[in-house]
Amino acid sequence: MKTYILICTLLSLFLSSCVKKEYMPEPVGQKIPYHESKTTIQETLNKSPYTFFSAAWKRSHMDKILNDLNSKVSITVFVPDNQAFEKMGYTLASINSAAPEVLDSLLLFHSCLNQIIPKTLDPESANQLLLTMLSNKNYTEAFGLSTSEFRDYLYRHYLNVENDKVLVNGQVSGNAGDIILATNGTLIPIHKVLAKPEKDIKEILEQDGRFKLYLSFLESNSEFYLSLSGFSAKQIERFSSKLGYVTFSSVLAPTDDAFHKVGIYSMADMDKLNTRAVPYILEDGFTVSNYLPMDSVLNNHFWQYSGVYVRNVNERVPGRYINPGSNALVFFSNDMKNQIIGNYVTLYDTYWDQPIHENNLEFIRNGEELKIRVKGSDAEPATVINRDIQAFNGTIHVLNRLLLPKGFKF
Over residues 235-275, the pLDDT tens digits come to: 788 788 887 889 899 999 999 999 999 999 999 999 999 99
Look over the chain and give the mean of its residue pLDDT values, rounded to a whole number.
Answer: 85
pLDDT band at 15 (very low <50, low <70, confident <90, very high): very low
Query: What is the spatial distance between Cα 78 and Cα 199, in angstroms, rounded to a whole number?
Result: 22
Report yes or no on 385 lying in a domain: yes
Query: What is the spatial distance between Cα 110 and Cα 156, in angstroms, rounded to a whole number?
Result: 9
- Between vectors from CA 352 to CA 346 and to CA 358, what angle results, nearest 5°? 20
Q: Are residues 171 and 101 in the same domain?
A: yes
Q: State the pLDDT at residue 73.
A: 82
Q: Are residues 183 and 229 in the same domain?
A: no
Q: State the pLDDT at residue 26.
A: 43
Q: State the pLDDT at residue 58.
A: 97
pLDDT band at 146 (very low <50, low <70, confident <90, very high): low
pLDDT band at 292 (very low <50, low <70, confident <90, very high): confident
Query: What is the spatial distance between Cα 314 and Cα 317, in angstroms, rounded to a whole number?
Result: 6
User: What percent of the chain has pLDDT above 70?
Assistant: 84
Most confident listed range (1-5, 63-67, 79-83, 229-233):
79-83
Report yes or no on 256 lying in a domain: yes
Query: What is the spatial distance between Cα 206 and Cα 204, in angstroms, rounded to a whole number?
Result: 6
Q: Are residues 151 and 244 in the same domain?
A: no
- Between vectors from CA 335 to CA 41 and to CA 362, what angle results, nearest 5°? 175
- Between vectors from CA 250 to CA 321 and to CA 269, what angle results, nearest 5°? 85
Tell me which of 144, 170, 190 is where a domain ends: 190
Mean pLDDT to the nearest integer, 298-304:
86
Q: Are residues 218 and 69 in the same domain?
A: no
Q: State the pLDDT at residue 10.
A: 41
- Element containing residue 387 per DSSP (H, E): strand 382-391
3-state helix, strand, coil in the chain (%, to 5): 30, 30, 45
Most confident listed range (125-129, 297-301, 363-367):
363-367
Q: Are residues 84 and 181 in the same domain?
A: yes
Radius of gyration from C-alpha coordinates of the chain: 23
pLDDT band at 80 (very low <50, low <70, confident <90, very high): very high
What CATH number does residue 89 fall under? 2.30.180.10
- Residue 45, pLDDT above cutoff 50: yes
Q: Are residues 129 and 156 in the same domain?
A: yes
The pLDDT tens digits of the residues spanning 158-180 come to 999 999 999 999 999 999 999 99
For the chain, the domain total comes to: 2
Report yes or no on 404 lying in a domain: no
Q: State the pLDDT at residue 314.
A: 62
Tell me which of 155, 190, 225 is where a domain ends: 190
H-state helical runs in 332-374: 338-341
pLDDT band at 352 (very low <50, low <70, confident <90, very high): confident
Q: Are residues 155 and 209 in the same domain?
A: no
Report yes or no on 410 lying in a domain: no
Report yes or no on 407 lying in a domain: no
- Least confident window among 60-74, 131-145, 301-315, 361-375: 301-315
> 383: domain range?
201-399
Q: Are residues 370 and 281 in the same domain?
A: yes
More confident residue, 306 or 111: 111
- Residue 189, pLDDT above cutoff 50: yes
- Residue 312, pLDDT above cutoff 70: no
- Element containing residue 54 per DSSP (H, E): helix 51-59
Query: What is the spatial distance between Cα 403 and Cα 366, in angstroms, rounded to a whole number?
Result: 19
More confident residue, 223 or 342: 342
Q: Are residues 29 and 171 in the same domain?
A: yes
Phi, psi angle pair for 354, to nearest 5°: -115, 145
More confident residue, 149 or 306: 149
H-state helical runs in 252-349: 256-260, 267-274, 295-298, 338-341
> Rounded to two decimals, what is the model's pTM?
0.87
Q: State the pLDDT at residue 323.
A: 67
- The one-letter code for the residue type at 280 is Y
Mean pLDDT to the nearest integer, 108-132:
89
Query: What is the spatial distance between Cα 191 and Cα 200, in angstroms, rounded to a whole number?
Result: 25
Q: What Cα–Cα distance (Å) separates residue 173 from each residue in 34, 97, 163, 265, 312?
A: 15, 28, 12, 40, 43
Nearest alpha-carbon partner for 410 in 287, 307, 275:
275
Q: Are residues 48 and 153 in the same domain?
A: yes
Instruction: Output b/e per residue, 191-229; b: 16+ Cβ within 10 A.
Output: bbbbeebebbbbbbbbebebbebbbebbebbbebbeebb
- Least confident window among 96-110, 340-354, 360-374: 340-354
Report yes or no on 409 lying in a domain: no
Q: State the pLDDT at residue 20.
A: 35
Report yes or no on 8 lying in a domain: no
Mean pLDDT to the nearest integer, 313-337:
78
Tell me which of 190, 210, 228 is where a domain ends: 190
Q: Are residues 172 and 207 in the same domain?
A: no
Q: Are residues 29 and 157 in the same domain?
A: yes
Report yes or no on 379 lying in a domain: yes
Mean pLDDT to the nearest integer, 334-340:
95
